Amino acid sequence: MLKGKILIVDDSEMNRSILADMLEEEYEILEAVDGEQAVTVLEEHSADIALVLLDIVMPKMDGFGVLAVMERNGWIEDLPVIMISSESGSAQVARAYDMGVTDFISRPFDALVVRRRVVNTLLLYAKQKRLMAMVEEQIRETERQSSLMVEILSHIVEFRNGESGQHILHVRTLTDHLLRAVMRRTDRYELTSDDVTRISVGSALHDIGKIVIDAKILNKPGKLTDEEFAVMKTHAMKGAEMLDALVEHRDDPLVRAAYEICRWHHERYDGRGYPDGLKGDDIPISAQVVALADVYDALTSPRVYKAPIPHEEAVEMIMEGKCGAFNPLLLECLAENADSIRQDIVTDSDRTVARESQNIVKDSVRPAPGDAVASERTLRLMDFERMKHSFFSAMTKELQFEYTVAPPKLSLSPWAAEVLGLEEIISNPGQNKRIRTILGEDGWSRFSWEARQTTPESPSASFDYQLTYNGQTRWHQIVLRTIWTATTPQRFAGALGKAIDNHDAHERMISLEKKAARDAMTGLLNQASARERIRRRLEERPEGRYAMGVFDLDLFKSANDSRGHQFGDRVLKTVAERLTHSVRSSDIISRTGGDEFMLFLEYNTDLERTIDRIFNSLCGDYEGYDISVTMGVARSETAGPSYEDMFREADSALYAAKRAGKRRYCFYDCSMRDVLRAETDVDERNGRN
């Protein structure tokens, strides 16, 4: 396993050296001689440093300076810092804690204390990270779903408008962009990151009022009449009314934002818009921004009544007030971000809801500076999700598990733990006896192998596996998703997964496979699957001594002709039964087609006696009909361990046996090759083949 990296920042080489000596056995040590160097090292390695030991009094930049930089770059959230110092003044200590320091180690250093503090801090952070990731995953799913609903709804409107659905995507991207630009420039509107996300999501609903506008007006290619335009204009108020009618939800912040947007996205800054003729900042900033985004995208997109206008020209038209008056601040934001906006719109088509919801997640999960990392809200959410989770996992009979590499630990859902008779948390699961019983001897390495086949880009794996518990061994479908570190290169950090009992389905599948491999009438293997099995047998142990026999029924046609096809079928079944009873279960037997059969066996001693016995058991009376067969036999000793060669030689021997007068068996020998060739030549010449 890779050692965790620890950065030691101290201007005294001696002090660094003492600390390094105490820690270098378990960790890889990086050193910096002052604050500035520490920042440089952090810039390069912040992703794979696990912990910083930081002195306070140093030349160039002191410890507090380093903390300030870490705070500014957001490193302090993920990277624990332990302060080392003899400065024990409580003001200093308080200031350091305020700036995000996790712990203090004071001089003189005590080896045990230093090691223990380092380990504790690392464990604490690792645990916190896992919890955060869990919550993030859950929230992401919820947000993704509600975002998806909004998207579906707005696409319905777009569809009715005869547009591609790109418009709402564009408006949303533009809205997000403009709002973030506004946030950077002023706090006049008191926008938070949550607001921006809400407004962007809500912007997708800006035209829902159009659902009640007559399609003839909506999709009219030419210019609207005054009456038609008056109808068209009602869509703003209609949309707002629809949202207001959601009695239970109208106070939801998202619905509030959508309401403002629907109602006022056609207002203009100079009061000349509709429906209310609001002026200036009486128009909510959400509606102002969406109005501008709407106009921009309407200009640059093709419509039934116009061709698309290029980006530069569209911006110019808006600036000149040709599309009505806008907030000068927004116009500045548009002009300033024109390039990146165009870029985003171009790549927009590939964007999905996922990206957006990631933003939501980031904003809601990231703690405000100074907050405890796992806020009460987070913990409450987590509790709820855990409850939900265990409920569903018990409902669906899924055995859910989570594995982390460092420390090696397996966590099971409560239901899984109960069913498997394991603790919910198991350290060093690879060495656990009970787990070995459940997975089988090689089980752990099979799971590791499956996990290693995944990559950060394609982290999922699914395979069928037999688990043993409750005294039963049953097939399960295992679904894994591996987790990777955020470092470069990404390293395997663990996996989430579940096992679903699919034993019954699996059994059905196996019996179907059996059926597919078999001849329906006799239940023997068909030729393809017999060939497959023989090949496998030869590959597994090419040095074995094998024999292959091929035979067909003599004068079978006459049985069919004189006693009917049903009788013929019964004869074939009888031959199959006799064959089955005269060979061992490990031998391979097949009906290769019509009245032709094949057998394949491994032998040690007297092959001729074995073949003679089989031959004799096949022949003989059946309901007054004398079953008689002719067989050719090939040996791997002469043919080599190849299906094709053995088959060809057995076939030659069969041919030779028939020529010698049927109802007999014949072993292949070299002379037959030429006989066969000569015969074939004659046959061909006579046009008989």
Partner 1 sequence: MTMQECYRAIGADYDDVLGRLRSERLIQKFVLKFLDDGSFDLLCASMDSGDLDTAFRASHTIKGVCSNLGFTRLGKSSHDLTEALRARNAEEAAGLLGQVKADYEATVSAIRTYKAEAGL
Give Cα 296 distance to the centre of its chain: 37
Q: How far apart are CA 66 and CA 384, in angstroms?
A: 38
Which residue, 21 or 244, is less far from partner 1 as judged by CB? Answer: 21
- Contact between 558 and partner 1 per CB under 8 A: no
In 3D space, the residue among 157, 116, 258 whose CA is nearest the CA of residue 200 turns out to be 258
Only one of the segments 13-21, 136-144, 336-344, 398-406 lies at the binding site for partner 1 (rule: CB under 8 A); that segment is 13-21
- Kind and range of the H or E run holding 481: strand 472-484
**Nearest to partner 1 of 18, 30 (CB atom):** 18
Cα dihedral 324, 326, 328, 331 sign = negative
| Residue position matching structure tokens 């500035």 | 36
Subset of 75-94 contacting partner 1 (CB under 8 A): 86
Pick the piece of the chain touching partner 1 (CB under 8 A) from 7-15, 121-129, 480-488, 623-631.
7-15
Does residue number 395 form part of the binding site for partner 1 (CB under 8 A)?
A: no
**What count of other Cβ atoms lies within 10 Å of the Cβ of residue 248?**
7
Out of 104, 109, 444, 492, the residue judged to bind partner 1 by CB under 8 A: 109
Residue 318 near residue 292 (C-beta atoms within 8 A): yes
Our CB check for partner 1 shows the closer of 107 and 185 to be: 107
Please tell me whether residue 78 adopts helix, strand or coil conformation. coil
Among 2, 47, 94, 111, binds partner 1 (CB under 8 A): 111
Stretch that binds partner 1, among 16-24, 179-187, 334-342, 530-538 (CB under 8 A): 16-24
The reply to whether 11 sits near partner 1 by the rule CB under 8 A is yes
- Asked if 59 is part of the footprint of partner 1 (rule: CB under 8 A), the reply reads yes
**What's the closest the beta carbon of residue 112 comes to partner 1, in angstroms?**
8
> Looking at 32, 51, 58, 287, which residue binds partner 1 (CB under 8 A)?
58
Label residue 407 exposed, middle or buried (CB < 10 Å: 0-12, 13-18, 19+). exposed
Interaction between residue 119 and partner 1 (CB under 8 A): no
* Min dist. Cβ of residue 81 to partner 1 (A): 18
Contact 146, 202 (CB under 8 A): no
Binding test (CB under 8 A) with partner 1, winner from 28, 36, 48, 57 = 57
Does 487 contact partner 1 by CB under 8 A? no
The reply on whether position 514 binds partner 1 by CB under 8 A is no
Tokens 């699957």 map to which residue? 529
Give every CB contact of residue 618 below 8 A, 6+ residues apart in sequence.
Answer: 551, 575, 578, 579, 582, 627, 629
Question: Closer to partner 1 at the Cβ: 19 or 191?
Answer: 19
How many other C-beta atoms lie within 10 A of the C-beta of residue 333? 24
From the CB of residue 684, how many other CB atoms can be counted at a distance below 10 Å? 10
Counting contacts by CB under 8 A, is residue 36 touching partner 1? no
Work out which of 24, 43, 110, 281 binds partner 1, going by CB under 8 A. Answer: 110
Instruction: With contacts defined by CB under 8 A, name the span among 105-113, 250-258, 579-587, 660-668 that binds partner 1.
Output: 105-113
Q: Cβ–Cβ contacts within 10 Å for residue 446, how many?
A: 15
What is the smallest separation between the CB atom of 52 and partner 1, expressed in angstroms? 18
By CB under 8 A, which span of 53-61, 227-235, 604-612, 639-647 interacts with partner 1? 53-61
Alpha helix segments (H runs only) across 412-500: 414-420, 433-439, 443-452
**Is 21 a residue that touches partner 1 (CB under 8 A)?**
yes
DSSP label at residue 475? E
* Residues in a beta bridge with 473: 468
Is residue 653 within 8 A of residue 619, CB to CB? The reply is: no
From the list 6, 7, 18, 53, which residue makes contact with partner 1 (rule: CB under 8 A)?
A: 18
Interface region with partner 1, contact rule CB under 8 A, candidates 11-19, 138-146, 207-215, 245-253 = 11-19
**Smallest distance from partner 1 to CB 381, Å:** 45
Among 1, 25, 90, 112, binds partner 1 (CB under 8 A): 112
User: Would you count residue 107 as binding partner 1 (CB under 8 A)?
Assistant: yes
Please report whether residue 13 would count as binding partner 1 according to CB under 8 A. yes
Shortest Å, Cβ 423 to partner 1:
36
Residue 432 within binding range of partner 1, rule CB under 8 A: no
- Between CA 510 and CA 507 the distance in angstroms is 5
Sequence-ordered list of residues with C-beta below 8 angstroms from that of 10, at least 6 positions apart, any chain? 16, 19, 31, 33, 53, 55, 58, 84
- Residue among 107 and 249 whose Cβ is closer to partner 1: 107
Distance CA 16, CA 21 (A): 8
- Stretch of 14-22, 158-166, 251-259, 531-539 lying at the interface with partner 1 (CB under 8 A): 14-22
Residue 96 contacts partner 1 per CB under 8 A: no
User: Any idea what the Cα angle at residue 537 is, between residues 504 and 673, rounded to 5°?
Assistant: 140
Interatomic CA distance for residues 546 and 602, integer angstroms: 4
The dihedral built from the CA positions of residue 55, 59, 62 and 65, taken in this order, carries a sign that is negative
Which residues of the shown chain bind partner 1 in the complex (CB under 8 A)?
Answer: 11-15, 17-18, 21, 57-59, 86, 107-112
